[in-house]
Amino acid sequence: MDQMAKSTTAKRTTRPTAEAILAAACRAIARRGADATRIADIAEEAGTSTGTVHYYFETKDDVLLAALKWANEQPYERIDEYLAGAPDDLARLGTLLELAIPYPGRDREEWIFFLELWKWILHRPDLVPDATAVDSRWRSYFFEVVRAGTSSGAFHPVAPADEVAERLVALVDGLGLKAVIGMPLLSPERMRELLLRFAADELRVPYVALERAATLD
């Protein structure tokens, strides 16, 4: 067998990693939804066979649930990076709110994975601990940003800092759900305006300054 033939054979027989399967499953879910996604769809997306998917995951439910958990961990590295680069507390708040908006593309897909995971949990009480872990990490960003800004004197919340953070999380989650679905009159841009105005009022910071801070380089 010549070198080219050996190389071609190696490519055909190379098994994708478990992470590659999860990434493929996420791409399929983003297009079809979790319920409609089949093992065959995941295999096709990964460029492999259904047998390879089953090598890592016994059932469809196993791979879909693993994919959704994996997908919900992916945004945090990006959030951490952006927040670390923000120059002050107001910029960190604006950055966090901007990252929470389901703009078309990756941002909307991340929201879809978040909502798909919660849909599973609705019928699987045994998954509540997994949901709690995902939710706690998401919420922690809001609490940390609001607490830090309050401590530094950048924010002057109308209620205790943790209560205002709770309100912000609730508004983000509620508006985000409607914006992802595509509810009339609630585009991502409209969601952005509502979030920024609410945060400015609750933390008593200038809206114009917060709006200017809510940009990503």
Could you report the per-residue pLDDT of 55-65, keeping only the tens digit for each?
999 998 889 88
Given this chain, do its domains 3-70 and 74-213 carry the same CATH topology?
A: no
What are the extents of the domains in the chain?
3-70, 74-213
Q: Is the dihedral of CA 89, 94, 95, 101 positive or negative?
A: positive
Q: Is the pTM of this model over 0.95?
A: no
- The structure tokens listed for 200 are 């400015």
Mean pLDDT (the chain) is 89
Hey, what amino acid is at 115? L
What CATH topology corresponds to 74-213?
Answer: Tetracycline Repressor; domain 2 (1.10.357)
> pLDDT tens string for the chain (217 positions)?
444 444 444 444 588 999 999 999 999 988 888 888 999 999 999 999 999 999 999 998 889 888 888 888 888 989 999 999 999 999 999 999 999 999 999 899 889 888 888 888 888 888 888 778 878 889 999 999 999 999 999 999 999 999 999 999 999 999 999 999 888 889 999 999 999 999 999 999 999 999 999 988 6
CATH level 2 (architecture), domain 3-70: Orthogonal Bundle (1.10)
Residue 24 CA to residue 32 CA, distance in Å, equals: 12
